[in-house]
Amino acid sequence: MGTVTFLDTSAEGCIVAGSPEARALGFTADLFHGYLWRKGNVLYISFIVSRYPGQGNFRNLMDRLEEGGCHVKVPCPSAWMEHILKVRGYKQHFEWAEEVGEDVEMWEL
């Protein structure tokens, strides 16, 4: 699939599984339900579910995003996602989320 890069780091918004941008990231509708959220070069992985749990889809997506230079943040991951994040060296902290008006659990490198 090649290296992923974001040319417009000022872009923000929802990336729906299967959209052209999502496909470039490997976030395809045949593998995932849900969406990603981008603010500049930060990609939030939230509300995604692998259609085939245990097949490495989430791990492969993380590989692709990190190799492409994305700064990945994962708010409130599921237990299984949290396990994968810990293996990858991600750390938990809490940060203010204006959208909900409170600190939320966040995982990032």
pLDDT in tens, 1-23: 444 454 345 668 899 888 888 88
Of 3.30.70, 3.40.50, 3.40.630, 3.30.160, which CATH number belongs to 12-108? 3.40.630
pTM comes to 0.84
pLDDT in tens, 69-92: 889 999 999 888 899 999 999 999
> Which three-class secondary structure state does DSSP give residue 75?
strand
Q: Which residues of 24-46 are buried (b: 16+ CB within 10 A; e: fewer)?
A: bbbbbeebbebbbbbeeeebbbe
Q: What is the pLDDT of residue 95?
A: 95
**In whole angstroms, what is the distance from residue 51 CA to residue 105 CA?**
25
**Any idea where the domains of the chain sit in the sequence?**
12-108
Q: To the nearest whole number, what is the mean pLDDT of the chain?
A: 87
Q: Are the C-beta atoms of residues 105 and 76 closer than 8 Å to each other? A: yes
